[in-house]
Structure 1
Amino acid sequence: MPIDFDLTARQKKLKAVAREFAREVLRPAAERADALPDPQAAFCELKPVYEQATAAGFSTMFLPEEYGGGGASTVDFLVAIEELCAVDPGFPTVLLVNGLALMPVLWFGSEAQREQWIGRATADTRGDFLAGWVVSERGGTANFDHPSPQAGIQLVADHDRARGEYVVNGEKHWPCNAGGWDLRGADVNLCVVRTDRTKGGKEALSALLVERGTPGIEYSVIDKMAHRTCQNVTMTFRGVRVPEQNLIAEGDGDLLINRNFTWSAPIASIAAVAVARGAYEFALKWAKTYTGGGSRPIIDHQAVGHLLAEVAAKIEAGRYLCWKAAHYADTHDGQGHALGGMNKTFCGDLMQSVVFDCMRVVGVNALDRKFPMARYYRESMVFPLYDAGNLAMQRRRTWGVMADAAFTPDTFVDGDPLVFTKSMEGYGVVPENG
C-alpha cells in the first residue's frame, strides 16, 4: 500500500460539514462566551452549540458503531477537530474529554460497563450528556507513576468490602467537563484513584466511574485566561461512596493514563495546528491588503513573505505529524505512546511560536481586540501546558519507550508494532532517596 496523504471523499465531506458548523454555529457563540466574566456562564453559553454538535454526531463520533457511536477513526476525528479548533479550541475540548472519559471503558471496562456507560452516551437525544476525565491534582500529576505511596495520585479510594463500595476522599484540580452544566456533576466522571495506600504508582492506581448526583462531591470552577468555552473545576471528595462494580483498570490506572494521553495526543496537537492556522489565515489576508502606509501590500516585502512561508511550512509539518500519530494508533490498537508524545510536544511548542510570528506580520494591530489575534495568542498558550504537559509527562513517555530494547529509530517510519508496558514507565521520576 503506497504512502497516501489524500483525504477520502467521505473525509472531505466531513471536513466541509465541520467547517460550516464551526463558522456558522460555533463562532458567534464562542465570541460571546469568551467575553463573559463568569467562567461557568461562558461554558453554558455553548450548551445550544453542544446540542447541535450532538445532533450532528460530533460528540460520540469516535465511539464504536456497535455501541451506537459514529465508528470514526482517530484520523477522521482529527479532520473534524481541526475545523472546529480553527474557530475556537475550547469547545472541541469538551468533545475530546468525552473521549478521555469513555474510551478507557472500551479498553479496560467489562461488557456490562461498556453497555451501560457508552450506551448511555450514544443514546443521548437531548444533547446534554457530558463525561468528565478526572486525573489531575493540585500537587501535579506528572509523577503519577512515582514508586512512593506518598507521591503521585493522592485521591484515595478505600474498599469497604462489607458494603461493596469504595469510599473516596481527596481533591482533584483541573478536570474538564466534570462539574456538568449545572455544577452538580457530569453524567459520569472517570476518576483515577489510589486503591492501595501501600504501593507505588505502577501498582496502586485504578479508576472509578462516578455517576452524577453522587453525594459528597463539591465543584468549584476555575477562571482561565483561555479555553473559556470549556469547563475546568476543582473537585473535593468527602466520604464519597461508589459501588465496587464501577471500578475499572484495577492496579493498571498507570497504563490507563498513558494510553489515554496517547489517544488524545494527536487530537490536542491538531488543535494547536488549527489555532496556528486560524492566525495564519488572518495574517495572510492582512498582508495581502494592508500597506503599512506604503504603496504596496506588505506581502510584497521580502521579510513578510519569508516569514509567512516559514509559518505555512510549520503548519503543514505539524498537521502531517498529527495524521501520522493518529494513523499509527488506529493501526496498532491505541499504541504509539512515544509517537504521540513527540507529536504533542512538537506541535504544542511550535504552534505557539507560529501564532506569535503571525502577530508580528499584523504588527501593533494584533493587540486590538476587534481583531482575533489577541485571542489566538491566549489560546496558543494552553497547548504546551495541558493534556499531560509538554515539559514533563509527554516527554517522559517518549523517553521511556525510546529507552526500551525493542525500540529502534525505524519503529515508526516502518509502522512496526510496539506495545507499551509498565517497564517503560517511571523515567524521570526521582525516588525519595534519590
Structure 2
Amino acid sequence: MAIDFTLTEKQRQIQLSARSFAESHLAPLTDKVDAEPDPLKGFQLTKDAYAEACKRGIAFSMMPAEYGGGGLSNVDFVIAAEEIQAVDPGFGTTVLVNGLGLLPVWYYGTEEQKKRFIGTATADQSGEFIVGYAASEPPGTPGGTANFDAPAINGAGMRVTARRDGDEYVVNGRKYWPCNVGGWDNQGANLNLVIVRTDPGVGGTVGLSALMIERGTPGITYRSISTSAQRSTPNCEIIFDNARVPAENLIEGTRGNGDLVINRNFAWSGPVAGIGAVAVARTAYEEALRWAKTYTAGGPAPIINYQYPGYVLGDVAAKIEAARCFCWKAAHYLDQHGYHGEMLGAMCKVHCTEMMFDCVYKCLQVVGVNAVDRKHRFDRYLREAALLPLYDAGNFGMQRRRVHGVMVDETFNPRAFMDDEPVDFTKGMEGIDTIPGPKTDEPTIPSPKVAEPGFVKQ
C-alpha cells in the first residue's frame, strides 16, 4: 500500500536521535535563554548545543549528501524538526535557516558555487559554521516594503540594491528581521544569502537576484532585535553601506528571479513551520494532560475526570494528529515535485500554525490561572505559539496571498494535491490583492534533481 504512516527503521532512528539531542543538549538551556535580556548573549548560550548539532550532522542535515550534507528527505527532516522544536522552537529555526540560505544554491547555483558554498559549510569542523538568509525589508529610507511581491508602483518592492561595478556588486540598503545573519558575534554569519535588486531600473517582482555574502565583507553592520519568542534564534537589522561583493557570488540561476527564490524557500519551510506548531502544541498538551491527571482543585478527584478538561484535551489531541499528517503530506509533496510546493506549503503553514495556537490556548484554559505562574512555562508556550502565524512569511499577507494567486490562475486544478500532481508557480501568480498593477508571466527557473533520502550523520 502506497500510503503508510509507519516510520521506517531509519526514520525511527532519526526521530530518536533528534529527541535525544533535544532533551540532552537543549532542554537544560531553554529557561536560561528565554530569560536572558540580551538577545545576542541568549543566542550565544546555544553555541555548545549548535556545535553538537554540527557534530551529529543535524545542522546541515537537509542538504544533499552529494555535497556533504545529511541527505534527509523533507519528510525525514520534518520528523526530526518536530522533536527539536518540541523542546526549543528557536533552535529549530536556526537550523532551518541554514537550509534557507543554502538550498537556493543547490537549486540554482553553478557546480562551482555548490561546491564552494555548500561544500564549505558541510565540511567545516569548527562547530560554529552558520548560514543566514536575508529577504525581509522595513519600509522607509533606506528600506523597501514587506510586500516584495507587490507590483512596482511608486517604487514598491525590495530596495536593497546591488549595482555591478566591474567584477563586483556594490550593495546598499537595509534588511530587517532575517535570522542567523549576524553570526555568533554580530560581525556576520559565515555565509548570508541576500535577496537584492540587481536591476534598479525596475521594481516589484522583477530585477531581483540572490547574492551570497561572506563573513568579513566590509561595509555591513548588524544589530540584534530583541523578540518576545524564539529567543534562541537571532534576528537582526542589517545595513549595507557600499559593501563590495564579488560578482561571482551571484547565484547564477536566480538572476532576475529572486522573487521565485523567496516563494520556493517559503514553500520548503511551510511544513517545517507547521511541524513547529505541532511541536509546541504537543508540549503544551502533554503538560496540561499531566496537570489534569494530578490536580484536584480541592475536589474529590483530579480534574481530568470532569467533562470540560477531558473533552477539550481530547479535541486538542485530535487536532495535533491532523496537523502532523498535513505536515507530512506537504513534505512528501515537496519530495515528489522537486522541492516545489508553493501553494501547499503555504496552506500547511497557515492551517497548522493557526489551529495549533488555538490548541495551546485551550491547554492554558484547562490549567486555569495556574498557567499564569511562569514556573509552569505555559506563558512561553503561548508566546511561541503566537509567533508561528507571524514569522516565516506572515499568514495575513504573503502566505495566504500565495494560495490566492495560484488558486485564481485559470490553469489551477483544485484536485492537484489530492492526485499528487505538480502545481507550477509563476510570476503571474504573485502580487494578487496587493497594489493593483500589471503582471508579467515569465518562465520559472528549472527544478533541481532531488537528492536521495538519507539520515542524520552520527
TM-score by length of 2: 0.92
Cα shift readout 1:129-178 (whole Å, capped 9, x = no counterpart): 11100000112423334233711111111111xx2111111100001000
CA contact (8 A) 2:177 2:235 kept: yes
In the alignment, which residue of structure 2 is the partner of 1:23? 23
Over the residues paired in the alignment, what is the CA RMSD in angstroms?
1.2
- Taking the aligned partners of 1:59 and 1:312, their CA distance within structure 2 comes to 30
In the alignment, which residue of structure 1 is the partner of 2:123? 123
Q: How does 1:1-12 map to 2 (within 5 A)?
A: 1-12=1-12
CA contact (8 A) 1:131 1:177 kept: yes
What SS is found at the alignment partner of 2:375? coil
- Which of 209, 216, 230 is equivalent to 2:212? 209
CA contact (8 A) 1:149 1:198 kept: no
Task: Kindly report structure 1 stretches of 4+ aligned residues shifted beyond 4 Å.
Answer: none
| Superposed displacement of residue 82, structure 1 | 0.3
| Superposed displacement of residue 23, structure 1 | 1.2
CA contact (8 A) 2:230 2:384 kept: yes
CA contact (8 A) 2:191 2:214 kept: yes
Query: Measured at CA, do residues 190 and 149 of structure 1 come closer, stay the same or move farther in structure 2, by a change above 3 Å?
Result: farther
Q: Are residue 285 (structure 1) and residue 296 (structure 2) matched?
A: no
| Superposed displacement of residue 432, structure 1 | 7.0
Letter in 2 for 1:63: M
- Which of 272, 275, 286 is equivalent to 1:270? 275
What SS is found at the alignment partner of 1:340? helix
What SS is found at the alignment partner of 1:316? helix
CA contact (8 A) 1:355 1:380 kept: yes
* Stretches of structure 1 lacking an aligned partner (at least 5 in a row): none
**Percentage identity across paired residues of the two chains:** 52
Letter in 1 for 2:319: K
Q: How does 1:320-331 map to 2 (within 5 A)?
A: 320-331=325-336
- Taking the aligned partners of 1:141 and 1:109, their CA distance within structure 2 comes to 26
Tell which deviates more after alignment, 222-231 or 29-38: 29-38
In the alignment, which residue of structure 1 is the partner of 2:224? 221
Q: How does 1:176-255 map to 2 (within 5 A)?
A: 176-248=179-251, 249-255=254-260
TM-score by length of 1: 0.97
- Taking the aligned partners of 1:144 and 1:230, their CA distance within structure 2 comes to 26
In the alignment, which residue of structure 1 is the partner of 2:337? 332
Query: Measured at CA, do residues 149 and 200 of structure 1 come closer, stay the same or move farther in structure 2, by a change above 3 Å?
Result: farther
What SS is found at the alignment partner of 1:167? strand
Q: How does 1:47-66 map to 2 (within 5 A)?
A: 47-66=47-66
Tell which deviates more after alignment, 389-398 or 414-423: 414-423
CA contact (8 A) 1:149 1:201 kept: no
CA contact (8 A) 1:135 1:141 kept: no
Q: How does 1:244-393 map to 2 (within 5 A)?
A: 244-248=247-251, 249-393=254-398
- Considering Cα pairs closer than 8 Å and 6+ residues apart, tell me whether 1 or 2 has the greater RCO: 2
- Taking the aligned partners of 1:70 and 1:93, their CA distance within structure 2 comes to 17
Letter in 2 for 1:225: S
- Taking the aligned partners of 2:131 and 2:24, their CA distance within structure 1 comes to 26
Letter in 2 for 1:429: T
- Taking the aligned partners of 2:101 and 2:184, their CA distance within structure 1 comes to 16
- Taking the aligned partners of 1:241 and 1:149, their CA distance within structure 2 comes to 28
Aligned length: 431
In the alignment, which residue of structure 2 is the partner of 1:151? 156
What SS is found at the alignment partner of 1:219? strand
CA contact (8 A) 2:157 2:205 kept: no
| Superposed displacement of residue 202, structure 1 | 2.7
* Stretches of structure 2 lacking an aligned partner (at least 5 in a row): 140-144, 439-458
- Taking the aligned partners of 1:219 and 1:20, their CA distance within structure 2 comes to 34
